[in-house]
Amino acid sequence: QQSPWWDDEVEKAWIDKRCAVRRWQTARKNGTTHPADILQLKQEMNNKTGCFKALARTVKSEKWAEFCQRVGNNKSLNLFWRLHRSMNGTVKNRCVIDFQSLDLTWQRTDENKGRALFAHYLEQSDQKDIVGRNTARQSIAAKCKNQELDVDDLVTVEEIKDAVRRAKNSAPGPDGIRYGDIGGLSDGEWEELAGIYNKSITTAIINEEWLHWYLCRSLAKTTQKFRAIG
């Protein structure tokens, strides 16, 4: 299932990027292409990659803003459950069964179910250390920003590949990407991924979209009760 922000324009930009990567890779490996032509193909690849990223960021931002505005105006949280169904490919008219929250109160309406699950998730995940975490993150960022890094501090392609190989191929997020899918990247895409990580390391900046998380409900088979996971 394709991401809701993925449209024809993004698809075309993605195809253009992949084609540019393949042209550069082919020219680099065949041994007959002039170095100047290889350099030009690499520049074209970088341009196509930049265009795709910029377009994807814009489209995702617009889609997210649109959704937030719609959810903010919907008190019954119907859109919350509709989003969940679309993310998980479930039947359109499927309903969450009635359940008891921790205080043994029965939750029977969509609004109450959504609020109960969300409150339960917040209670489970709240470590009550937000101030300390923000202080630590700012301190680390300040130190990294003023520190001179050498090559050993950066991430290599082999290190990323090793981490992906050792990771469990768990259920994908809303984008549908698994660790196994990452293993199929091309050489150019591995280099690009390493470059993204290293840019974050050298600039001490974590991309805002890396901090997004999604709340879903999960039915425990043994108790037939729902739990919230993020």
The pLDDT-based confidence of 3 (bands split at 50, 70, 90) is confident
Domain span at residue 16 reads 1-73
pLDDT > 70? residue 92: no
Q: Provide the whole-model pTM.
A: 0.37
Pseudo-torsion of CA 19, 23, 24, 28, nearest 10°? 150
The answer to whether residues 194 and 160 touch, using CB atoms and an 8 Å cutoff, is yes
- Predicted confidence (pLDDT) per residue in 38-74, tens digit: 999 999 999 999 999 999 889 888 888 777 666 555 5
Between 151 and 57, residue with greater pLDDT: 57
Q: What DSSP element (H or E) covers 83?
A: helix 78-88
Q: Is residue 117 part of a domain?
A: no
- The 3-state DSSP composition of the chain as helix, strand, coil percent (nearest 5) reads 60, 5, 35
Q: What is the mean pLDDT of residues 17-41?
A: 90
68 and 143 co-located in one domain:
no
In a domain, 158, yes or no: yes
Q: What's the total number of domains in the chain? A: 2
- Contact between residue 50 and residue 38 where contact means Cβ atoms under 8 Å apart: no
Residue 227 included in any domain: no
Distance, C-alpha 86 to centroid of its chain? 16
Domain membership of residue 98 (yes or no) is no
Question: What's residue 171's pLDDT?
Answer: 62
Q: What is the pLDDT of residue 5?
A: 78
Judged against a pLDDT cut of 50, whether residue 76 lies above it is answered with no
80 domain residue, yes or no:
no
The pLDDT score that the predictor gives to residue 45 is 92
Percent of the chain residues past pLDDT 90, beyond the cut = 19
Report which residue type is found at 8.
D
Structure tokens at 76: 């019954």
Judge whether 156 lies within some domain.
yes
